Structure 1
């Protein structure tokens, strides 16, 4: 491995640590300072500023990175034979990136003017899974997709919130899956 490759690897790890720290900090307090993020990332403020010269640069980078993480979650096991298993995987994976979910959706208007924020409300792949689950009888026929989708996201958001506190992430994920399955079963 060359020195250049090692440096790129170290830079990528530092950048990822800063983004992870910003997600964790800003998920709870969007007004938090660069200093709080640098401390959480275990880097100096000057290092943070080398990667992201100002707040907006960090916000934009975290927004894009978080949306990319959600795209990864969206692709999670959507082809599973059992749609409820696919929905469970989707929920568990979403909880793993809970700070990103909270950062993105804690304030619906936070990114309204940001050109990196998707302007459309395109379907994220949840509707086909809900349709498949309904067709197989796992979701009650009288529960509309809009209700099931909003319930799914509310449970995901709640699990992300509580897993950042006193409840371990795996326990929050188990509770989220159980809550969703029981709420929509036919």
Structure 2
């Protein structure tokens, strides 16, 4: 039963990342189930979207934390966290898309905004540390570097649609672009 729910969530992330207004039938089809089955797990689109956001935040935060904990070298730490963003793939790009829609007004005290910020708190804190240590450019704000990160992750995820683009090559190209962009 949990597999069906997870399949629906994964399908919704893929479908809604492409088209936020896609019908639930399309999600059910992608999950290889029926709309009726989808509604056994989620009463409506809003509940499904909330579950997707929660799932994405957990997965991305866990991946970032694991990458951070994997080494003591501060530059390698950043590189591994960057790779974690790419490995989160569509989840990362979808979460960022939802959080930066034209009608979204970011408020730190808003529960969803605070949860989004928490997802990337380790990443942003590490960027601040590297700036303080003089290892990356102090010319850019952490928010600017985060937007650059999201843009390069998005480009990396899109380039994965071409089967000729190996994940390891994409990660290295993305890291090259990002690291040069922040003056590393």
Residue 64 of structure 1 contacts residue 116 of structure 1 at CA under 8 Å; is this kept in 2? no
Question: What is aligned with 1:173?
Answer: 171
Question: What is aligned with 2:91?
Answer: 100
The normalised TM-score by structure 2 is 0.78
* 1:41 shift after superposition: 0.9
Residue 93 of structure 2 contacts residue 150 of structure 2 at CA under 8 Å; is this kept in 1? no
Q: Which one scores higher on RCO, CA 8 angstroms, separation ≥ 6?
A: 1
* 1:141 shift after superposition: 4.9
**Is 1:31 paired with 2:13?**
no
Counterparts of residues 32-111 of structure 1 (less than 5 Å): 32-79=22-69, 80-107=71-98, 108-109=100-101
Q: 1:155 to 1:75 in 2, by over 3 A?
A: same
How large is the Cα RMSD of the aligned pairs? 2.8
Which sections of structure 2, spanning at least 5 residues, go unmatched? none
Residue 17 of structure 2 contacts residue 94 of structure 2 at CA under 8 Å; is this kept in 1? yes
Among 96, 111, 117, the alignment partner of 2:112 is 117
**Relative to structure 2, which stretch is displaced further, 175-184 or 140-149?**
140-149
* 1:174 shift after superposition: 2.1
Report which of the two structures shows the higher radius of gyration computed on alpha carbons. Answer: 1
**Relative to structure 2, which stretch is displaced further, 71-80 or 102-111?**
102-111
Which sections of structure 1, spanning at least 5 residues, go unmatched? 1-10
Counterparts of residues 104-183 of structure 1 (less than 5 Å): 104-107=95-98, 108-109=100-101, 117-119=112-114, 121=117, 124-134=121-131, 138-164=135-161, 167-183=165-181
Q: Distance in 1 between matches of 2:37 and 2:104?
A: 26
**Relative to structure 2, which stretch is displaced further, 17-26 or 85-94?**
85-94
Residue 38 of structure 1 contacts residue 48 of structure 1 at CA under 8 Å; is this kept in 2? yes
Q: How many residues align?
A: 175
The normalised TM-score by structure 1 is 0.77
3-state SS in 2 of match to 1:16: helix
Residue 35 of structure 1 contacts residue 45 of structure 1 at CA under 8 Å; is this kept in 2? yes
Q: Deviations over 1:134-179 (max 9, x none)?
A: 4665424544434433322322232233334564544332221111
Q: Distance in 2 between matches of 1:28 and 1:73?
A: 23
Residue 93 of structure 2 contacts residue 153 of structure 2 at CA under 8 Å; is this kept in 1? no
